[in-house]
A and B are shown apart, each in its own frame.
Chain A
Amino acid sequence: MGNLMKKNIIAMLCSVSVMYISAQTNALAQDATSESPNSCIWCHQEIGDELAEPIVAMEHDAHASKGLSCVDCHGGDPTAGFDEDETAAMNPAKGYIGVPSRKEIPQFCARCHSDPNYMRKYNPRVSTDQYDRYKTSIHGQKLAQGDSKVATCVDCHGAHGVFEVNDPRAKVFAINIPQTCGNCHSDSDYMDGYGISTRQVDDFKKGVHGIALLEKGDQAAPACNDCHGNHGAVPPGVPSIGFVCGQCHLNNSELFRSSPHMQAFAEEELPECETCHSNHDIEPPTDSMIGIGDESMCIDCHSEGSTGFEVAEILHAKIDTLKQNIVEADSLVAVASRAGMEVSEAVFSLSDANQSLIKSRTMAHALSVERLDEVTKEGNTQANSALSIGIAALDELQFRRKGLALSLVFIFVLAVGVYMKIREVDKRMDV
């Protein structure tokens, strides 16, 4: 293909593209609600460059999809200005606001989003307290103090081209939140002077929650906002950490509150759950975290000879015994199952025993030997039941094999007898 032909094709494609974009923007130049001409779009499109960007962004905007247009946020008169008199369209007398400053943004958005009567028209269930909560957040407080670097509505939601929260394209969609927060909080230059770490997002990605959310795509896993709040974002204080984690880990939280640790942690001003489990880079909990081993968290505070040390040892032993019983029964049942034995009852028992093991790990937060004992006893009973079934199945398997061997010997002798008879009859009858 010659160069000339290539150039012609490229030129033709460019022309088609320009025609398409022009057609799109011309369509947008019609007011979404009234279908009347919109001078904002017309004019911004004429000027082009970054002033034309909002037009493209608004194509998929949540507001535009509800029939809202430029004028609903920025004011002015979109029917005027077609004669290139921009002051007619952007007339403050006609409510023109223009582009709000960063400090003005929360209030700018709150004109609608804090008005329940207005918002009800579009979504009766939407909350309208975002602005009030924002004012209580560190972002809001610092903005009020004149720090315009802090996050405002547009930093998380976008300005033009805002997506609904449950839209995967939204910057505030669960899976996208760590990245959205990290845009500022992971930028050490940007965060310079605030005196907080910029490793939170990196740590979060390595932790159980980050792996669940970002690697496994489990949207039920918490993102930054689930612990810190979103519009009212603040670091949870020491007294509230248990409640924050308890939003999901309800039983663990309640058991902790009923344990002797509750008062002791308060007195020492230790941040409840975080003391043992850390915050952003939470590792998967293991049974060795409890007890007196090298990886135990208990021995950080409880020294040998203390009651806490003894209790830790007993709690670990009880959980470990249950775990060992389950492993033993499980391997035996697996052998029987592989051999073709019917062991579904044992599988049910093992499932119950595993359930008890999970419960016992939760119950460990109560730090009560008696309460843990109740749970592990039930689990051990189920594990022993599975073990008995597994042993019986393997005994039965041996019985079957011996029975089979005996039967085959009998059948073989019978076959030999019949064969001899055939030879005898054939010989006698000369066949």
Chain B
Amino acid sequence: MPENQKQSIHTKQDASAQAGASQKGVMGWVEDRFNLGGMKSFITHKQVPLHRHSLWYYLGGMTLFFFVVQVTTGILLLFYYRPSAESAFESVQFIMTEVRFGWLIRSIHSWSANLMVAGAFLHLFSVFFMKAYRKPREMTWVSGVIMLFLAMGFGFSGYLLPWNELAFFATKVGTEIVAVVPLVGKALMEFLRGGEDVTGATLTRFFAIHVAILPAIFVSLLGFHLMVVQVQGMSVPPGVEKKEKSLRYMPFFPNFLLRDLLGWIIALGCLVAIAALFPWELGVKADPFASAPAGIKPEWYFVFMFQTLKYIPARLWIVDGEIVGVLGFGLIAAAVIFVPFIHKKTDHPKTNRIFNLIGVIAIIYIIVISAISYMSVE
């Protein structure tokens, strides 16, 4: 080990020991062992740039807040939820009618799930337009996009869990779409469904994915994402960077964190109000032998893809239209993940304009197509 590095470690340990020695009781005991002083020193030294786009920095924290709400309410729901075709619906009904504040917990869980996905989408677009994915933050973007896809996976798997009619048929349609993927589609569909059809086996499978597999992957990525954000700090948009030579900064702790906290408190107030005034409906229990009700639609964040698949002709030259659609969305998803590696010349105004245009078109497309789908009479 180089001498200067050893010295640095010794200096840190000494500083920590001194801090521990200066503090008594529990805090001193903790400081002696975990060097919280170092962490505190890091946080207090971290600076957040202040400019006209700084507001967008709060979206990541907001999405994180909704995720924390999801984890908390999800754990509470687990106390009563029973993942089987025979008892899932009844257990959710029990939560909503018999368990004290069960209705509120479930309603918050459902609303917060949607707000979390919405927050993640907004965060993604804000980062996209601010070109915050440019070097050295490529992997922050990649992990963030994957987390957005995982959040959509959370939504898809969680939607089925109450085992109601709408969820059952939406899952049936959703998993059917997976089957069109060439070569592995059918196997993938059967893997997701736990058989040929959507049954109780699908429910237990989705439950495992929703409460164990996705959270494990998500939390790992989240840890990485937060770590790199802390280490690399907030990105300043290229335009701001050039124009504002003397950029102002704000300490992350406590100034930025307090603002984050204010946002979370306001979000909590809104979430509680929405959840209480518009409790998430349970609907009627799924009946696999009943015919599908009219107007089956997936969750709102899948609607633009669902509607697009409807517009693609059944046959495109010699290829099945649905295959083209599904593969097309797969390619777009991959392209979104690899944006930092596709768009490297972020200091080039022309390419920036092209990418901004692509982003605007994507937003307009998603909004317009979703609106058409919701307004169309089935």
The chain A residues found within 8 Å of chain B, CB to CB, are: 340-342, 344-345, 400-401, 403-404, 407-408, 411-412, 414-415, 418-419, 421-422, 425-426, 429, 431
Contact = CB atoms under 8 A, between A and B. Distances in A.
A429 B265 CA distance: 23
A401 to B, nearest CB: 7
B258 A342 contact: no
Nearest to A393: B97
Contacts of A419: 262
B60 interface: no
B244 interface: no
Nearest to B275: A404
Contacts of A415: 262, 265-266, 269
Which size bracket describes the interface of B in this complex? 20 to 34
B258 A422 contact: yes
Contacts of A401: 276
Given A419-B262, A422-B258, A425-B255, A340 B279 contact: yes
22 contacts: A340-B277, A342-B93, A342-B103, A342-B279, A342-B282, A344-B282, A345-B97, A400-B276, A401-B276, A408-B273, A411-B268, A415-B262, A415-B265, A418-B258, A418-B262, A418-B265, A419-B262, A421-B258, A422-B258, A422-B259, A425-B258, A431-B250
A426 B256 CA distance: 10
Contacts of B255: 422, 425-426, 429, 431
Contacts of A403: 276
B261 interface: yes
Contacts of A422: 255, 258-259, 262
Contacts of B279: 340-342
A87 to B, nearest CB: 64
Contact of B269 (A344, A408, A429): A408
Contacts of B104: 400
B145 interface: no
B295 interface: no
Interface in B70-127: 93, 96-97, 103-104
A341 B276 CA distance: 10
B344 to A, nearest CB: 35
A342 B282 CA distance: 8
B169 to A, nearest CB: 20
Contacts of B273: 404, 408
Nearest to A419: B262
B272 A425 contact: no
Interface in B231-281: 250-251, 254-255, 258-259, 261-262, 265-266, 268-269, 272-273, 276-279, 281
A411 B262 CA distance: 10
Nearest to B262: A418
Nearest to B266: A415
Chain A interface, DSSP helix/strand/loop, else mixed: helix
A201 B361 CA distance: 66
Contact of A342 (B96, B261, B262, B265): B96
Interface in B280-334: 281-282
A431 B251 CA distance: 8
Please list the 7 inter-chain residue pairs (A to B) with the smallest Cβ-Cβ separation, ordered nearest first.
Answer: A411-B269, A340-B279, A404-B276, A342-B96, A415-B265, A418-B262, A422-B258
Contacts of A344: 93, 282
B278 A340 contact: yes
A407 B262 CA distance: 16
Contacts of A426: 255
Given A340-B281, A429-B255, 17 more contacts: A340-B277, A344-B93, A344-B282, A400-B104, A404-B273, A404-B276, A404-B277, A408-B273, A411-B268, A411-B269, A411-B272, A412-B269, A415-B262, A418-B258, A418-B262, A425-B258, A426-B255
A418 B261 contact: yes
Contacts of B96: 342
A414 B265 contact: yes
A422 B96 CA distance: 39
Interface in B17-36: none
Nearest to A415: B265
Contacts of A407: 269, 272
Nearest to A404: B276
B310 to A, nearest CB: 31
B93 A404 contact: no
A208 to B, nearest CB: 29
Contacts of B262: 415, 418-419, 422
Contacts of B258: 418, 421-422, 425
A405 to B, nearest CB: 10
Contacts of B269: 407-408, 411-412, 415
A391 to B, nearest CB: 15
Contacts of A340: 277-279, 281
B113 to A, nearest CB: 18
Contacts of B103: 342
B235 to A, nearest CB: 20
Contacts of A418: 258, 261-262, 265
B248 to A, nearest CB: 8
